Amino acid sequence: MSILFIGKRNDPYTDDAADTVGQLFENAVVIRLARGERLPESVTSWAGDWLVSYLCPQVLPGSLLERASLGAINFHPGPPEYPGIGCTNFAIYNGEKEYGVTCHFMEPQVDSGGIIEVSRLPIYEADTVYTLTRRCYAYQIRLFHEVMHRILAEGGLQPNGLQWQRKAYTSRDFRELYTITPSMSEAEIARRTRAVTFPGYPGPELLLHGKRYVLQELNRPIPTDG
């Protein structure tokens, strides 16, 4: 089988997945991208059996998905209830008790293709966006290994009948989540702050008289890819 793997640059989980692809498939092309980096020209002429997206930091064009004869699949760091970006943030904000990771077929519309497999994990009371995200990635790489070996053993994949539960969260939704205003209650501000705190990044933004002020002592998260 021939496979095109596209993942995130400088990410240990993507490195693990890419190494696995190289070991399992003789005819493998591996591409790693940083956020905002364009697909290399060589990819535009690729055609083969499987296209695999793993924490890919950009939406892949439909023309590329069509050139995977057996399937184009993505490993999304969220369950069917949380398609799109910033999924761990919204799950923390909504007070969920359970989360998950999803393997699904790709369509041009983000996180809308047939679901192949879902792996569930608990959300603990003490979880933060950081701890949930790290645990989510550990579940996701395990699911990746399971699906890749299933492809080798069975030759193909089929949707399992599960459905996405809502439209994908967008960058606009994510920006709204980390915006706080003076009119919000103390509880709502605390809830949003917890949902958008991630080590090493600026905090939520205060919207005041039409201007935005970043709260530097807190930490804004990176929206999860997939």
pLDDT tens profile 74-126: 999 999 999 999 999 999 999 999 999 999 999 999 999 999 999 999 999 99
Tell me the per-residue pLDDT of 3-53, one tens digit each, with 9 for 90 and over: 999 999 999 999 999 999 999 998 999 999 999 999 998 888 899 999 999
Q: What is the C-alpha separation between 57 and 34, in angstroms, rounded?
A: 7
Which is more confidently placed, 40 or 221?
Answer: 40
Distance CA 35, CA 17 (A): 18
The identity of residue 212, as a single letter, is: R
Q: Which fold has domain 2-154?
A: Rossmann fold (3.40.50)
Look at residue 225 in the predicted model and tell me its pLDDT. Answer: 61
Contacts of 30 (CB under 8 A, 6+ apart): 5, 7, 18, 21, 22
The predicted pLDDT at position 223 comes to 58
> Looking at the chain, which residues constitute the CATH 3.40.50.170 domain(s)?
2-154
Contact, 27 vs 2, CB < 8 A?
Answer: yes
The pLDDT value given to residue 222: 52
Calculate the CA dihedral of residues 200, 143, 58, 36 and round it to 10 degrees: 40
Q: What is the pLDDT of residue 219?
A: 47
Helix H or strand E encompassing 194:
helix 186-195
